[in-house]
Amino acid sequence: MTTSELLSPQFTGIDDLTLAEVDAKLKEHQQLLQVLLQSPGSMLSYLPQNDATMQTATVAQPEAEQLFQQALTCSVQQDLHQAATYYCRAAYTGHLQAQVQLGHCYLKGAGVPKSAVFAYSWFILAALQQDSTAQQACTVLCKHLTLIDQQQAQQLAAERFEKITLKNNM
């Protein structure tokens, strides 16, 4: 779907798109973002060029995997608050799976207050690392969140990204 088609009076919103069209739009936007990120002097050129920044953080933090495993154990034992606590600690080290699981915790209200905004913010961070589950969750949540909620989640994700990056580069 082209920009002119999106601006046409027949187009009433994302609900009119097929899943294949939504997927194509997402890929198109990802390519556009990559071009923006790689353009010298771009407003976005200070951002990481790939997902290596957050992935190296996970490698550099061996305790992240231990925290994640403790979270899984607590989850199996139905100690959801403790599981969410461990997921959160691991997520703040940049642990991809912990970020996804923490997003699910917030989405369901499992051990934490139920918050689609907080869930979306963690899914955004995991989606930046190319996690397909998080990318799908972002697509679905986008349809159910107001524009203000989406902006708030993006702000939270940006703040968390900085905390993760600063913490893991010390």
**Does the residue 42 lie in any domain?**
no
Give me the residue label for tokens 């969410």: 84
For 28, the token pair is 């198109």
Nearest residue to 61 (alpha-carbon basis) of 90, 21, 29, 98: 90
Higher confidence at residue 9 or residue 162?
Answer: 162
Of 19-23, 34-38, 120-124, highest mean pLDDT: 120-124
Of the pLDDT bands very low, low, confident and very high (cuts 50, 70, 90), residue 154 is very high
**Does the residue 152 lie in any domain?**
yes
At 74, which CATH number? Answer: 1.25.40.10
Of the pLDDT bands very low, low, confident and very high (cuts 50, 70, 90), residue 166 is confident
Decide: 165 and 57 in contact? Cβ < 8 Å.
yes
> Mean pLDDT, to the nearest integer, of 109-127?
96
pLDDT tens sequence across 23-43: 666 666 565 555 555 544 444
C-alpha torsion angle, residues 70, 76, 77, 81 (rounded to 10) = 60
**Does the residue 5 lie in any domain?**
no
**Does the residue 98 lie in any domain?**
yes
**Does the residue 4 lie in any domain?**
no
Q: Residues near 55 by Cβ (< 8 Å), separated by ≥ 6?
A: 94, 96, 129
pLDDT of residue 24: 65
Cα separation of 136 and 17, whole Å? Answer: 15
Decide: 104 and 133 in contact? Cβ < 8 Å.
no
Write out the H or E segment, with its range, that includes residue 46.
none
**Does the residue 15 lie in any domain?**
no
> Mean pLDDT, to the nearest integer, of 106-123?
96
**Does the residue 122 lie in any domain?**
yes
The total domain count for the chain is 1
pLDDT tens sequence across 54-79: 444 444 467 899 999 999 999 999 99
Asked if the model's pLDDT at residue 84 lies above 70, the reply is: yes
Q: Residues near 49 by Cβ (< 8 Å), separated by ≥ 6?
A: 37, 38
pLDDT of residue 20: 67
- Report the first-to-last Cα separation within the chain, whole angstroms: 45
**Does the residue 110 lie in any domain?**
yes
Residue 79 lies in domain: 51-168
